[in-house]
Amino acid sequence: MILRQIQAHHYRVLAVRDPVEGESVLAVLNDAKRFHPRLFEQITAALREHAPTYGPPFAEDRTGVARAKRLYGGIAEFIAQNRDMSRGARAQQSRDEKRLGLRVFFFEYGRDIICTNACYKTHPTPEGALDACFRVRASYLNYLAGGKVPIIEGD
């Protein structure tokens, strides 16, 4: 297991570089940057600006939206929604575009936020996404018990 540091301040945000299974966080973010810039901007703000300083954004922001949600078993998700607040632009979106969201699953270990896998979401969480997160967490804890987990810093 190798982790890549996304950003660090009071908290350190890390992404699993070689996930056991599921979509790599970095690969999904690269895809979102090209095809879904609004989702990319929201997730990037949560991962690079808010979380390193204040921790995961579980509380609602000034727009009334929480950018992270606790699930179960110590697992949580960063949330990005593809919703434009203007009525005119919203009317132009198809139903699936309005529902499209980006989720980055993570767990916390002390002041480390470890992002395990990511997916696009239009309906309930895809099967296997949470199981993959639990498996990556178990692998991380095994690596930690056996020594140090390698972390790559920088982009």
Q: Band the pLDDT of 103: cuts 50, 70, 90.
A: very high
| Cα–Cα distance, 36 to 57 (Å, whole number) | 21
Per-residue pLDDT of 63-80, as tens digits, reads: 666 789 999 899 999 999
Domain ranges for the chain: 3-147
Q: Are 121 and 102 in contact (CB under 8 A)?
A: yes
Per-residue pLDDT of 110-120, as tens digits, reads: 999 999 999 88
Q: Band the pLDDT of 152: cuts 50, 70, 90.
A: confident
Out of 59-73, 96-110, 128-142, the most confident range is 128-142
pTM over 0.75: yes
Q: In the numeric block, which tokens belong to residue 66?
A: 């929480």
Helix (H) and strand (E) counts in the chain = 6, 7
Q: Band the pLDDT of 125: cuts 50, 70, 90.
A: confident
Q: Are 118 and 105 in contact (CB under 8 A)?
A: yes
pLDDT for the residue 41: 92
What does the CA dihedral 24, 28, 30, 36 come to, rounded to 10 degrees? -170
Per-residue pLDDT of 6-63, as tens digits, reads: 999 999 999 988 655 556 888 899 999 999 898 999 999 999 999 999 999 887 666 6
DSSP state of 60: B
| Cα–Cα distance, 34 to 56 (Å, whole number) | 25
Q: In the numeric block, which tokens belong to residue 17?
A: 């570089």
pLDDT at 94 over 60: no
